[in-house]
Amino acid sequence: MVVSPNSKKAKSIWRWLLLALIIAEVVLVRLRFMDIRTAIGVVVAIEALLLIVGFRQVAVAVHRYRRDRKASIDVWVAMENGMEVFLPGKLAKALASELKLWYCLGKWLLRRAHPGENDFTYHRKSILGPFLIVLLFTTPVELLLIELLLPWAWLRWFLLISAMYLFFWVCGLYASMVTLPYRLDRDGIRISYGILAQAEIAYNNILRVEMNSRKTHQRGDGLKVKTDEDAAYVAVGGKTNVSLHLKKPQALQGWLGPTSSVTNVHLAADEPSRLIQELERRVYPDS
């Protein structure tokens, strides 16, 4: 769907109008630029405008979410699109990703992550697994040292909260890798690297699937794009073992935005042979 520049400008105006009204009310109440009677009247007027604009934005966000879900768009993408009514695009993506991470962590801790027959995991050789075990032992020691060595209470609290948040964030990232496997849907394959990368590639856009062990020349996991190779790597341990060659270039979705378009997508899978077999069955249904 193509959005006209005027439409984009209107959405931006509504978003910033909501923020401007909130700031104006805070400034008037806190700094007391006016006498009390005038300030009360202005604040009441701003409250009324705030309610009108707020209800309008909520209605637009709900409408956009329902429209996207009706079009079978992923629930998290639909939520992100709805949040863009209130927030700039990258901030909306970051907030949606954060909510998704905590949802995945809860699902993992409650042991509700059960891969189906069309799901294919990729997390088993990830460095995040061992790193999580290391954090499990080192975080309590760090918290104890912070408590014993730092005399400033505000700094202790800041570092304690930061350390706990980092620990649970890493847990959540690993949980998202477990709970968001590759999935073979009706019309295409849904690729994920936890909350940090995703893409949906239609079967009719896949030219060829092959077993192909490759190194990214960079250690670690995640989405990497090499424009000189016209390729995207969704790597685990710096390696991939399944290659998809596409008919038309396609972008993958990174954490805060899309990558450049590529025609080769290299994946790391725990069961590459089974993934290739099932993909070929869908890509070449008549063979």
Q: Distance between CA atoms of 117 and 284, rounded to whole angstroms?
A: 19
pLDDT tens for the chain, 287 residues long, are 334 444 555 555 655 665 665 666 566 555 555 555 565 565 566 566 656 666 666 676 676 767 766 766 666 666 666 666 666 667 777 778 888 888 889 988 888 778 888 999 999 888 888 888 888 888 888 888 877 777 888 888 888 888 888 889 999 999 999 999 999 988 899 999 998 988 999 999 999 999 988 887 666 788 999 888 999 999 998 889 999 999 999 999 887 778 899 999 999 999 999 999 999 999 887 76
Global pTM reads 0.73
Asked whether the beta carbons of 199 and 253 are under 8 A apart, the reply is yes
pLDDT in tens, 266-287: 999 999 999 999 999 998 877 6
Q: Distance between CA atoms of 185 and 84, rounded to whole angstroms?
A: 27
Q: Distance between CA atoms of 125 and 106, rounded to whole angstroms?
A: 22
Would you state the structure tokens that stand for residue 99, as one six-digit string?
């909510």
pLDDT in tens, 148-197: 777 888 888 888 888 888 889 999 999 999 999 999 988 899 999 998 98
Asked whether the beta carbons of 178 and 107 are under 8 A apart, the reply is no
Asked whether the beta carbons of 12 and 87 are under 8 A apart, the reply is no
